[in-house]
Structure 1
Amino acid sequence: MIPFLLIINLITFCVFGFDKWQAKKNQWRISENTLLGISLLGGIIGAASGMMLFNHKVSKKSFLVKFILVVLIDLVLLYRLMRH
């Protein structure tokens, strides 16, 4: 479980960084659903770190609301997994 979480968070962090880089160049972007989806897979720490470090999606209220929902879902799932 721990190796998976480390890998998914590293990937998520890199994807958020890449999307910000693409945004600065006005290039093709990664969809918000993809960003939220990889966050939901366990990458919430990587996503939050990428959002803060790259200043990415932090001013978009609709994305932040969805991201908070993803965090809550992940926390509930993690809690349930740890109980079994």
Structure 2
Amino acid sequence: MSLSFILLLYLLLWNLLVFITYGADKLKAKRGVWRISEKLLLIESYVLGGLGAYLAGLVFHHKTRKWYFRLAWYLGLLGDVIVIYLVWRI
């Protein structure tokens, strides 16, 4: 396996984890139980989890009204695109 493949795989797995985290928080919100902190959700989005967070927002309709979450998703998506571009050039 090449280094670029491994890096892209890690990026994909990280975004899957972010997607699952958002889904878990939405489920907890529906049940009215302890929630995942907004701080953690935002950090996950900023740290190359923009794709997973954005897709989770679309699928689960979670955190879509808060402008700062949408900003975090877009910045995270930008980071994802930059990393993919850089890895592609290796």
Aligned-partner Cα distance in 2 for 1:76–1:13:
17
- Among 69, 79, 83, the alignment partner of 1:78 is 83
Deviant stretches of 4+, over 3 Å:
65-72, 79-84
How many residue pairs get aligned? The number is 83
Query: TM-score normalised to the size of structure 2?
Result: 0.73
Residue 14 of structure 2 corresponds to residue 8 of structure 1: yes
8 Å contact from structure 2 (residues 51, 77) kept in 1? no
> Which amino acid in the other structure matches residue 38 of structure 1?
E
Structure 1 residues 70, 45: CA separation in 2 closer, same or farther (over 3 Å shift)?
closer
Matched, 1:21 2:27: yes
**C-alpha RMSD of the superposition:** 2.2
Q: What does residue range 38-53 of structure 1 map to in structure 2 within 5 Å?
A: 38-53=44-59
Residues 50, 72 of structure 2: 8 Å contact kept:
no
| Identity fraction in percent | 37
